[in-house]
């Protein structure tokens, strides 16, 4: 005997409830998936905005990159253009001077400064509500340059070479002099060129010479040049000053002649410093 029975209304309703539950869950998954994708896109946009500001600052050199921050970071030096808004996403920037190395904090060894950049972008997740704000943070550094170059030049000034001892090349207003202030030890190569203007050569012998020498903080550094006045009116010299301590120093070029005869003036001169990172 077979006992077949068609589906009754109760069974249909139960089926519908089950189907309804399935559809509701599917819809929920779909809606949540859409929100998740949208939030990923918003977060990705925020990353892009933060990354754009980071790249803008990384394009700057160590010296031109200004330390400071926007209101959000709350440092001492507030810089207005370190905050803004792009495509509805607000961003903030902080640039902080830091240092790293076993010589930091007064210990012996190297202590290299660097500038740390932090960029952040504020975005709002969906569904929109007051507590749905999120931030992305990016950090990078601009390292301290390994090489620095400084140079200056002098045109003709009334600076006659003296015979009594070393005096700075140039007059009181404009002399062959560069001030340095590096935060780490440096090996410095000093190059200078001086063109002479022999205004009066009477009494100057072929063996009479002009001495030039580089001085740092008033102390002479070898090598001294000795240049015949009559036959060689151009002076060139290159020296290295090893392991210059961090801090302020003055580098000058001085000269004198070993005869009281004649009158020699400055025609043109230049001074170039190339500073490399020093030894430990």
Partner 1 sequence: MIKRRALSLIEFLITMVIMTFVFAGLIVVFSFLFKNIVYNFERSDMYGQVTYALDDMRLRFISAIETKTMFSSSNNEVDFFEFKGEKDIYNIRPNDATLYSATGSGSKVWYRYSLKDDGNLVLEVSFDDGNTYQVSDVLVDKRYRPRLSFVYVEGDEPNFFEADIKVVGEKNSALEMDLTEGIQTWFIGVVK
Judged by the rule CB under 8 A, the positions of this chain that interact with partner 1 are 1-9, 12-13, 16, 19, 23, 26-27, 30, 34, 37, 41, 44-45, 48-49, 51-52, 54-56, 58-60, 64, 81, 86-87
Nearer Cβ to partner 1 (64/172): 64
Nearer Cβ to partner 1 (29/223): 29
With beta carbons less than 8 A apart as the criterion, state whether 226 and 279 touch: no
Nearer Cβ to partner 1 (12/223): 12
| Per-residue three-class SS string for 212-230 | EEEEECCEEEEEEEEEECC
Least CB distance to partner 1 at residue 109 (A): 33
Least CB distance to partner 1 at residue 23 (A): 6
Least CB distance to partner 1 at residue 75 (A): 20
Cβ-based burial of 254 (10 A; exposed 0-12, middle 13-18, buried ≥19): buried
Nearer Cβ to partner 1 (27/107): 27
Report the distance separating Cα 131 and Cα 128, nearest Å. Answer: 8
Nearer Cβ to partner 1 (141/238): 141
Residue for token pair 């918003």: 42
Least CB distance to partner 1 at residue 29 (A): 10
Nearer Cβ to partner 1 (9/173): 9
- Output the CA angle 157-158-162, nearest 5 degrees: 120
Least CB distance to partner 1 at residue 134 (A): 19
Least CB distance to partner 1 at residue 30 (A): 6
Our measurement of the distance from residue 253's CA atom to the centroid of its chain's CA atoms, rounded to an integer in Å, reads: 29
Report the distance separating Cα 100 and Cα 113, nearest Å. Answer: 6
Report the distance separating Cα 175 and Cα 186, nearest Å. Answer: 23
With beta carbons less than 8 A apart as the criterion, state whether 269 and 196 touch: no
């Amino acid at each position: 005997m077979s006992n077949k029975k068609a589906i009754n209304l109760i069974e249909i309703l139960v089926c519908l409830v089950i189907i309804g539950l399935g559809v509701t869950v599917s819809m929920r998954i779909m809606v949540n998936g859409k929100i998740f994708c949208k939030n990923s896109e918003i977060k990705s946009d925020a990353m892009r905005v933060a990354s754009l500001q980071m790249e803008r600052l990384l394009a700057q050199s160590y010296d031109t990159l200004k330390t400071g921050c926007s209101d959000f970071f709350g440092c001492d030096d507030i810089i207005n253009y370190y905050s803004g808004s792009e495509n509805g996403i607000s961003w903030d920037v902080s640039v902080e001077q830091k240092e790293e190395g076993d010589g930091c904090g007064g210990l012996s060894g190297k202590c290299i400064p660097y500038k740390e950049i932090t960029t952040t972008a504020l975005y709002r997740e969906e569904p929109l509500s007051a507590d749905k704000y999120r931030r992305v943070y990016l950090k990078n550094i601009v390292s301290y340059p390994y090489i620095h170059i400084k140079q200056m030049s002098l045109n003709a000034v009334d600076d006659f070479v003296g015979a009594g001892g070393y005096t700075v090349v140039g007059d009181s207003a404009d002399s062959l002099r560069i001030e340095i202030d590096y935060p780490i030890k440096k090996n410095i190569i000093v190059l200078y060129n001086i063109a002479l203007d022999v205004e009066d050569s009477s009494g100057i012998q072929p063996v009479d010479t002009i001495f030039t020498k580089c001085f740092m903080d008033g102390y002479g550094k070898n090598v001294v040049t000795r240049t015949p006045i009559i036959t060689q009116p151009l002076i060139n010299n290159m020296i290295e000053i090893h392991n210059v301590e961090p801090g302020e120093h003055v580098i000058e070029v001085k000269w004198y002649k070993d005869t009281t005869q004649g009158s020699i003036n400055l025609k043109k001169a230049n001074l170039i410093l190339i500073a490399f990172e020093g030894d430990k």
